[in-house]
A and B are shown apart, each in its own frame.
Chain A
Amino acid sequence: MEILVIGAGCPSCDQVYTDTLAAAEELGLDAHIRKVEDLVEMVQMGIMTVPALVVDGRVLAAGPGLNKAKIKKLLRP
């Protein structure tokens, strides 16, 4: 499983990355988690709102309001 946390480097995006790491660990997921902060890479992926959560190429969420509980729900197998 590849999880991408897309954010431009602001504190709220950083928080989503931290929450995603915690959520994956609590769920016991075997996942490779990467933070994407590069603007060009973001738009190449079609992301126009951050923070966004992308799992195996699928955008699961984009925009404010993501927290650990919501991320866990989205990542639960």
Chain B
Amino acid sequence: MKKTKLFVLTGFLGAGKTTFLLRMLENYAGKKVGVIQNDLGKVNIDGPRIEKDGLELREISQGSIYCSCRKLDFVKALAELAQRELDYVLVESSGIGDPSNMEEILRAVEVLQPGIYEFAGLICLVDGANFLEDRDKREEVGRQVRHAHAVLLNKVDLLTPQDQAALMAALRALNPVCPIYPCAYGEVDLAFLEEDLRKYQYVGWEESLNSSETKPKTLVLYPAGTVQGGELEAFLRKLAPLCWRIKGFVPLDTGWAQVDVVGKYIDRKPCPPQPQGELVIISRTGPAIIRPIMDAWKECVSTEMKLKN
């Protein structure tokens, strides 16, 4: 029987995992594909971006799939998809996901659904613009690279050749074995997916760093109505330094916008109308971010909003 090829994407918040996942889905058009998407918060902003007819999508929210609090849900989702006779299952980990215990998860799936999956590897997306800072602040970032079978060094369009060389050296120090593909917008020759990536395994499996204690605080902001573009921009600029990531959809006076904030990069682009406006905010400062969000919104934006856990 033909096995289901299982790819797992990792990479810190804003590294470009969803964009690369969309590329993989395009590449596997016509194949039977299942996707497991993992998000830290209650709201999965990226789910609707990838949802399409015939795609088996499972969403696991409110914690990392490698954390003790969620890993059984991950095993269940993989076991469930194993019964669908799929060609591929693609997993998009949450940004702080530390996949060091992936082998334990695969062994548990094997007990429930033996012989279905061929684990094809962990592919780590690296945010070229923010990696060095992220690596120094969150230990999971280093783990993602150490355990990767392939690294996509993304956003190289934002780097000087010197920056890129320094990043390559930093990545090589973490993982001297796996191939590293520099790219922008996740655009890389996908032929590497056909290779046996498992031969690039550098380190053995270990306990994941993910736990309920290390999970960053996530909040969702719901604007009560249409927001002025300039006001939103001012709010995001004020808040960005306090956040790992801000993403979502906002109804602007000029139409709906998809918002993506990673580090100091604020990206806003038009998007189709959404059921409701919502911004997921992943805090760098824990619950202490609540007051600055309220203050910044009040100062910059004339529309009311609600902030929820």
Contacts and interface: CB of A to CB of B under 8 A. Distances in A.
Nearest to B211: A10
Given A10-B67, A39-B105, A50 B111 contact: no
A49 B211 CA distance: 17
B69 interface: yes
Given A39-B75, A43-B75, A48-B76, A13 B108 contact: no
B104 A50 contact: no
A42 interface: yes
A49 B71 CA distance: 11
A11 B69 CA distance: 9
Contact of A44 (B71, B72, B111, B212): B111
Nearest to B67: A10
Interface residues of A, number: 16
Interface of B: 67-69, 71-72, 75-76, 104-105, 107-108, 111-112, 211-213
Interface of A: 7-13, 37, 39-40, 42-44, 48-50
21 contacts: A7-B68, A8-B69, A8-B71, A9-B68, A10-B211, A12-B69, A37-B68, A39-B72, A39-B104, A39-B105, A39-B107, A40-B107, A40-B108, A40-B111, A43-B72, A43-B108, A43-B112, A44-B111, A48-B75, A49-B72, A50-B72
